[in-house]
C-alpha cells in the first residue's frame, strides 16, 4: 500500500521509516524543495520525496504531520481532489506559537472545538482519524515498554477508516482506543499537553498512555 506523508519534520520522518519497516511504499511531502536531499538522507533511499500535494496524490492512505498552526492552510492548499475518500491519520496538535505556562502548552482551540474537526469541515469527503497525536516521536514505531502495549486514542467519523488505522496501529505496536466521532478530538488533542508536562517540567519524555480496562 502507498502512504503519502504530508509533513517533513521529525514526525513525518519517523513515520516514513516506520512504514518502510512494515513494507509500505512511502512518499514524504514538504513545501520546501531545499529539504529534498536532507530528507532522502534521513529517511533512506526507499522513501520518495515530493511536495505536499504530490505526497497526497501518491498515497492511498495519508498522514498529516505538519505544524498545527499550518495544518488548515496545508489542507486547503493540497485541495479536495487528492484528499477526498482517503483515510488521513491526523497527528497534528493545535499548539499555539506561545511559550508553555508552568509546563502546560497553549492551544489555539477551545474545549468546544478541535483542530481535526476544523480539518474535517474543510474537506468533508476525507476520512480523518486522529492518531499518533499523544505520543512522542521516539515512541511512535514499535515502542518497547517491557511487553506492555501503549494505548493510542483515536477518533473520526468513518468506521472503516478507523478500522484501517487500528490495523496500522497494531503493526506499529499500539492498542487502539476508539473514542468515537470527530468531536472526541476535543479530548484527545489535549492529551498532548498532558504528555508534554513531565518533559517540559522535568525533561522526562519516556512515557506513554495506557487505558486500563476490566
Binding site for ligand NAP (CB under 6 A): 7-12, 30-32, 35, 65-68, 70, 73-74, 91-93, 95, 132-133, 136-137
Nearest residue to ligand NAP on Cβ basis: 9
| Burial group, residue 102, by CB count within 10 angstroms (0-12, 13-18, 19+) | exposed
Helix crossing, 115-122 with 71-78: angle to 10°? 20
User: What is the nearest approach in angstroms of ligand NAP to the Cβ of residue 101?
Assistant: 17
C-alpha cell at 13: 520522518
User: What is the nearest approach in angstroms of ligand NAP to the Cβ of residue 95?
Assistant: 5
**Number of other CB atoms surrounding residue 81 within 10 Å:** 11
Residue 64's DSSP bridge partners are 6, 90
Nearer to ligand NAP, 31 or 80 (CB): 31
User: What is the nearest approach in angstroms of ligand NAP to the Cβ of residue 157?
Assistant: 20
User: What is the nearest approach in angstroms of ligand NAP to the Cβ of residue 118?
Assistant: 13
User: What is the nearest approach in angstroms of ligand NAP to the Cβ of residue 10?
Assistant: 4
Separation CA 24–CA 47 (nearest Å): 10
Separation CA 116–CA 47 (nearest Å): 27
Element (H, E) at 70: none
**Number of other CB atoms surrounding residue 16 within 10 Å:** 28
Nearer to ligand NAP, 135 or 161 (CB): 135
Nearer to ligand NAP, 11 or 53 (CB): 11
Nearer to ligand NAP, 74 or 159 (CB): 74
Nearer to ligand NAP, 133 or 157 (CB): 133
Amino acid at each position: 500500500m502507498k502512504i503519502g506523508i504530508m509533513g517533513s519534520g521529525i514526525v513525518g520522518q519517523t513515520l516514513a521509516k516506520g512504514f518502510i519497516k512494515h513494507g509500505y511504499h512511502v512518499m514524504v511531502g514538504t513545501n520546501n524543495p531545499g529539504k529534498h536531499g536532507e530528507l532522502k538522507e534521513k529517511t533512506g533511499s526507499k522513501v520518495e520525496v515530493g511536495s505536499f500535494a504530490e505526497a497526497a496524490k501518491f498515497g492511498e492512505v495519508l498522514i498529516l504531520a505538519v505544524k498545527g498552526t499550518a495544518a488548515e492552510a496545508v489542507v486547503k492548499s493540497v485541495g479536495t481532489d487528492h484528499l477526498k475518500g482517503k483515510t488521513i491519520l491526523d497527528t497534528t496538535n493545535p499548539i499555539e506559537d506561545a511559550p508553555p505556562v508552568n509546563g502546560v502548552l497553549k492551544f489555539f482551540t477551545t474545549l468546544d472545538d478541535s483542530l481535526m474537526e476544523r480539518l474535517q469541515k474543510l474537506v468533508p469527503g476525507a476520512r480523518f482519524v486522529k492518531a499518533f497525536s499523544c505520543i512522542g516521536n521516539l515512541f511512535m514505531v514499535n515502542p518497547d515498554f517491557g511487553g506492555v502495549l501503549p494505548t493510542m486514542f483515536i477518533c473520526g467519523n468513518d468506521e472503516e477508516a478507523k478500522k484501517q488505522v487500528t490495523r496500522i496501529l497494531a503493526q506499529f505496536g499500539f492498542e487502539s482506543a476508539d473514542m468515537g466521532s470527530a468531536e472526541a478530538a476535543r479530548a484527545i488533542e489535549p492529551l498532548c499537553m498532558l504528555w508534554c508536562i513531565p518533559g517540559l517540567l522535568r525533561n522526562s519524555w519516556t512515557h506513554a498512555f495506557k487505558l486500563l480496562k476490566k
